[in-house]
Amino acid sequence: MNHFMTPRKPLIGLLWLSVASLPLPLSAQSTLSATTIEHTQFGAASDQALAAHWKLSPQEIAGYRRYMKLEGRYFYAHLDPVMVLGIIETDPVQRARYAGLYLEAERERIQEQTRFANLVASVQLKRYGLEAPVDFSILPQVANSPGYQAARAGHGAAQAGLPVRPVTPAAAPAESVALHAGDRVDLLVEPGCETACYDKIQSVLPVAGVKIRLYGRKFDDEKALVAWLERGPLGRLNADARGRIEPRRFDPLIFSGVDISHPPVTLLRRNGAVVGTL
């Protein structure tokens, strides 16, 4: 009769699995807690903050916000207020003002970016010295790219086939050019330059229609440059002469390629091009 009996071991195994699958008591369970996730939120800037940053009036900021709520949000959400106002402005004078504001801000941004890039290059040179150029053509990705290899070979062949032409240096501006109405003078001055710089300004102003862009170097700000203008004989200039002098921040690009070690440095521009010095 023993051959009719059912084995008991599988049943014991099933009972063990059933017991193991039962939930543990609360005391044996691990405690779960929520993880706090922190992130930075950027809210909308106030009208006062926007106006101060972009050198606009509260009324202009209000107009900008109205336009962005209706139509601008579909096309110009990525643009700054000055550019948006310049695009939608219909008055030529006001539009030119926006263009000037945008240009000055953009030049300042580029100047800061290039300053930082030059600083990075300087730090790199101090830390690591002159390093060998990186040849990206030796990378495995490039070796498996027939398109890159073909382009590289074609570029080399094109360069080899070009005739070698001597580089002609740019002609230096004439030493002295007579002033004409409509000319513009870019004049570089410094706080310590008084008599020579004042005399240079007074020599230009008698020619009617000539404007002076006065670039102040080593001044704390434009207010300090204006205060420098008010000192000495320039404080007695009439309204016409004052209106033809435009104080500006020093811009090395304006005087690129010119020795600016000893102000005053004067460039004469006619139709936007440098035609000489004074």
Q: Which two tokens stand for residue 212?
A: 């002076």
Strand partners, 210: none
Dihedral of the alpha carbons of 100, 105, 111, 117, in degrees to the nearest 10:
-140
Q: Are 190 and 215 in contact (CB under 8 A)?
A: no
More confident of the two residues 251 and 37 = 251
Residue 170 is predicted with a pLDDT of 44
Distance CA 70, CA 52 (A): 24
Among candidates 84, 64, 63, 86, which has minimal Cα distance to 75?
84
Residue 122 is predicted with a pLDDT of 85
* Number of continuous H segments (helices) and E segments (strands) in the chain: 11, 5
Strand partners, 211: 184
Q: What is the pTM of this model?
A: 0.41
pLDDT in tens, 122-176: 888 888 877 777 777 777 776 667 676 676 666 655 555 545 444 444 444 445 5
Structural domains in the chain? Answer: 47-130 (no CATH), 184-277 (3.40.30.10)
256 has pLDDT over 60:
yes
pLDDT bracket for residue 87 (50, 70, 90) = very high
* Section 34-47 average pLDDT: 74
| CA of residue 71 relative to chain centroid, distance | 27
